[in-house]
Structure 1
Amino acid sequence: MSHTEKNDSPPAGFRILDLFAGPGGLDVAAAVLGHQVTGIEWDTGACATRREAGMDTFQGDVRQYRAAFFPYAQVLTGGPPCQTFTVAGHGVGRRSLEQVLEYIKRLHEVVRTGEQGWKEIFRTWRGISEELRRKELKAQDVKTRKREVEELRAAKRKALRLRLERLGNSADEIKNLMKSFMDVPRTLDFQDDELEGLLKEFSDLNDEHAELKGRLEELGDERTGLVLQPLWWVIERSRRPRSVPYEAVILEQVPAVLPVWEEYAKVLASLGYRTRTQLMHTEAFGVPQTRRRAVLMARLDRAALLDEVRLRPEDLPPVLETHERYQPKGRPAPRSKATSGEPLPLEPSHASPESPKAPWVPMDAALKRAREIKPELPERPAFTVISNYGTGGIPEARGRRDHDVPSATITGKVSRNRVVLKGTERDLARFLPAEAGVLQTFPVAYPWDGNDISQQIGNAVPPKLALHVLRHVLEPELSDEEARIRLKQATADLETWTPGKPVKPRMHDGLKGHPLTGR
C-alpha cells in the first residue's frame, strides 16, 4: 500500500479479486485508489515480485479455485493469457477465436434462457470443461510425439549432411540440397541407396511433423479454457443460488481479444450489467509508451436484475482520453486494426470537448521524474532506443524511438533493446528494470524480483491505464472535475508509492481465514 497521506476522503473502497494478476499492475493502481486487492497468479517470478511489493496473493492455477471460494469479493478483474486470435483467414488464430466464441455462445444461450436454472448452467460449463480437458490431454500426447519426431528429424538431417559430404559435395551445394530436401524431397534422385534411404526417412518424418502440427492446431491449448475462466466466475456469482453478483468486472488483454470481450459483453448484459468494450491507447492516458489494450468494463445495474423490469442495461460511457495520441512524424493516421484482419473504422478519440487534452508524455520526462524520486538512477543524455524487433517484416530494420517521444510497446524483450546516444551508434547503458517499469508507469520503487523480470514488466498492465479504468468503473458518481482531481492525486500517489512489508503468497490451503473467503 502507498504510504502517501491523502488530504481528502476518497470514495469507499472495494474488495477486488484479480485473476491472472501478474506482478501487480492493476493491484498497485487499485491500492492507491484505496481498494483492497487479492490476486491469483501462477508464475513464480511474478509471485516473487508481488511478495516484495506486499501484494496479497494466492499462488496457483486459477482453475484450482472457484468464485464460490471468495464470496466477499465485490469486483472481479483480470487479464487471462490467450492465443493470438485473428478474424482473418482460416489459420490457427481464426480457428482458436471461433472455438472460444462458440463456447461463450453456448454459455450465453443457457444463461439467457435459464429455463432449468443453475443445474443446467453448471452442466453446460462442466461439459465445456471436460471437452477442453480431453483436448488438453490429447494435445499433451501429440506434443510429446512432436518433440520425438523433431529429435529424430534433427538426427536424420545430420546424417544427410554427413552423407553428402562423403559423396564430395561442397558446402554451398550441401546448403542448397538441404533446403531442397525441406521443399520437394521426393522429386530428387541421387543414385545412392544410402542417401535415398535417409531422404525417405527424413521425408516421412517431415510428413508426420506436419500432421502433428495440424492436430495441435485443431486441439488448441489450455489457454482456451483460461480465457473462459473470468466469464464463468461472473456467471457463477450471478446465477448460483445464494450467491451475490459482482458489483463490477474489468478485463484487459491485447487488441486481438476484442471480439472475445464483445461476446462476453452480451452475456454480462443478460446478467444485468452495463458494459463497454474499448480499445485503449496507453499514451492517451498519460503512459509514456504507445501500446493498445482491449478492455471490457461492466457495472451491475440492479434495476435490470428485477424480473418485472427485463430491460437491457444501457452501455457504460467510454473512458475519456486525457492526453493526445502519439503519431510519428510524416505518417498518415493509421486505421485501427484490433486484429490482424481487415481494418476497422477509425477509432473515436473519446475526448471530452470541455477538457483539452494534454500532450503525450515522452520517455525522457518520465525518466527524469523517476530520477527526482530515486536519484541513483543514471543520468541519460539525449538517446535513441533501438528495438530488438524488426519493422515491416524486415528483421534488420529495427524500430527506433528518440528520447523525446513515447516509448514503443514495452515487451518481454525490453532488456535487449539497445540505447544509443542520439544521432550516433554509440551504446549507452540499457534500461534498468526500474526504468523499464517506469515506462509502464510502475512506481520507481517497485521491487522487481524473481526470474525473467523483463517478461514480467512486458506482460503487466500499465498501472496508470488501470487507474483510469478503475476510477471510471468504480466511481461513476464523481463529476468531471472531481474525477480530474481524483486522478491527479492518484497519479501523484502512484509515482511516490513505496512497498510495505513483504507478504508471502498463499497456497490453496491458505483459503481458511482469508478476508474474502468467510471460512
Structure 2
Amino acid sequence: MCGFEIVDLFAGPGGLDVAAHCLGIPVTGIELDDDACATRAAFAEAKDGDGPRMITKPGDVRDFDPLDYKTANVLAAGPPCQTFSVAGKGTGRRNLDQVTAFIRRMAEEEDVTKELDDLADVRTGLVLEPLKWVLARKNNNPFEVVILEQVPAVLPVWKEMVAVLEKLDYHADAQILYTEDYGVPQTRKRAVLIARKKGGVNFPESTHQRYRKGHPPVAAKDHPKKLAPWVSMGEVLKRGSFTIVSNYGSGRDPKNRGRRDHTKPAFTVTGKVGRNKIIGPDGRDLGRLDEREAGLLQTFPRDYPWRGKDVQQQIGNAIPPLLAAHILITALGLPARRRGAVLGYNGF
C-alpha cells in the first residue's frame, strides 16, 4: 500500500480505477448511472483479491456526506461535461461567469444549494460539487490531494477554484493537458486541476510527441526532448490500413468531415464514437468501431468488462486510464521505483 485512498466523484465506468489499481491505491467511486456502476462492479469482481479494493457507491453525489469518507485522503472528480463540452449545447460555457461567482460565494461559506438546483440545466452546477467536499472537510481531516478533470472550457472554473484552494493552504494549479502527449492514441484535451497540502504542484511531463497535422513524428533519438512518436490508431486497433471519417464536421462546416488515416491518433473519443466511418484504402466501407476498439483508443484494457446499455457513452465519458496514471503518479508524488510498471501499462 502507498498510504493513499481515493474517493472519486462521478466515477464513471472506472477510468481512474484502472490506473489506481495498477498503482495499488484503493478507490471508492460514487456514480449515478446504473450501467457505469455495472461495468465498475464487473471490473472489481474480476480483480477481487488481486490488488487494492475498489468500491462503488451508486447514487447522486449530492446525496453523500464528505465526512463519511474519513479514510479517503485524496479527492478526485470528473463532473459531467455535457453542458461545457463543445459537442454539447454549451449552457455551462454561457454560465461561466455565474459559476465562478458561485465559487467565490461558497468560499465565503454562503449556501448556494437552492440556486444551483434552480439552474436551467442542473448538470452545470455539478462542477462545483468537488469544492463542496473540500470545504466540508477544510477544518476536519482535509484532503491531502485534490485532482479534478474536465473539458477545456472548464479551465476558468478550475482557475477560480485554485484561488480558493490556495487560501485553504493548498498548493494548486490548473492546466490543459493533451492526451497524445502521454501515449494515448487519440487527440483529446482536458482541463486538469491538481492541489496538494504538502509540497509544490507539478504536472506530468510529456512522454510522447504531440500530434500536429501535416507534421509527421520523428524517431525519439531525433527529437530534442527524446520523446517517443505519438501512438497511432493503427498500432492499437491492428486493422491494417484504414481511414477514420469523423462524425463531426471541421471548420464549423458539418459537411466537412475530418479524416485521419491509421498512422495518426484518433479523433477525440466521444459517446458517439460508433458513428465514425472506417474506410479502407480502396474506399470500401469497413464498418464502425466496436466497443472493445473504442475502449482501446481510451487505453482501457482489451478485456475490460463493459456492461449495461450505451457502452459507447460510458467509454466517451471516461478519463483515459493511461492519462489518469500519469496524473496520479505526479500528483501523489509517488517514488520513481513505482513508476516503471505503471508507465509501461497500456490497454493494448
TM-score above 0.5? yes
Q: Which structure 1 residue ranges, 4+ long, deviate > 6 Å from structure 2?
A: none
Which residue matches 1:383? 242
Q: Distance in 1 between matches of 2:116 and 2:12?
A: 24
Which residue matches 2:253? 394
Q: Distance in 2 between matches of 1:475 and 1:429?
A: 44
Q: Which one of the candidate residues 286, 291, 294 is aligned to 1:428?
A: 286
Q: Distance in 1 between matches of 2:224 and 2:135?
A: 39
Q: Say if 2:219 is the partner of 1:322.
A: no
TM-superposition CA deviations, 1:82-122 (whole Å, max 9, x none): 46459xxxx955541111100101122x2xxxxxxxxxx3x
**Structure 1 residues 31 and 330, CA, compared in 2 at 3 Å: closer, same or farther?**
closer
Which is worse superposed, 64-73 or 219-228? 219-228
Q: Distance in 2 between matches of 1:491 and 1:444?
A: 17
TM-superposition CA deviations, 1:194-228 (whole Å, max 9, x none): xxxxxxxxxxxxxxxxxxxxxxxxx4321233111
Post-superposition offset of 1:329: 0.6
The normalised TM-score by structure 1 is: 0.60
Higher helix share: 1
Q: Distance in 2 between matches of 1:360 and 1:487?
A: 20
Q: Say if 2:123 is the partner of 1:223.
A: yes
**Structure 1 residues 354 and 276, CA, compared in 2 at 3 Å: closer, same or farther?**
farther
* 2:138 match: secondary structure: helix
**Is 1:41–1:47's contact at 8 Å kept on the other side of the alignment?**
yes
TM-superposition CA deviations, 1:252-305 (whole Å, max 9, x none): 00000000000111111111111121100000011010000000001113xxxx
Which residue matches 1:284? 181
**Structure 1 residues 85 and 448, CA, compared in 2 at 3 Å: closer, same or farther?**
closer
Higher strand share: 2
TM-superposition CA deviations, 1:400-452 (whole Å, max 9, x none): 11011111111111111111112x32011322211110110111111111110
Q: Which one of the candidate residues 458, 462, 466 is aligned to 2:316?
A: 458
**Is 1:85–1:96's contact at 8 Å kept on the other side of the alignment?**
no
TM-superposition CA deviations, 1:304-323 (whole Å, max 9, x none): xxxxxxxxxx8513321111
Which residue matches 1:205? none
TM-superposition CA deviations, 1:458-494 (whole Å, max 9, x none): 1110000000000001125x3xxx2xx6444114455
CA RMSD of aligned residues (A): 2.2
Q: Distance in 2 between matches of 1:433 and 1:85?
A: 25
Q: Distance in 1 between matches of 2:237 and 2:115?
A: 49
Which residue matches 1:376? none
- What is the aligned residue count? 329
| Structure with larger RCO (C-alpha < 8 A, sep 6+) | 1
**Structure 1 residues 252 and 75, CA, compared in 2 at 3 Å: closer, same or farther?**
same
Which residue matches 1:56? 55
Q: Which one of the candidate residues 235, 238, 254 is aligned to 1:365?
A: 235
Letter in 2 for 1:363: M
Post-superposition offset of 1:355: 5.2
Letter in 2 for 1:67: P
Greater Cα radius of gyration, structure 1 or 2: 1
Which residue matches 1:495? 347
Post-superposition offset of 1:48: 1.3
Q: Which runs of 5+ in 1 are unaligned?
A: 1-10, 111-120, 136-218, 302-313, 332-352, 369-379, 497-519
Q: Distance in 2 between matches of 1:462 and 1:277?
A: 18
Letter in 2 for 1:52: A
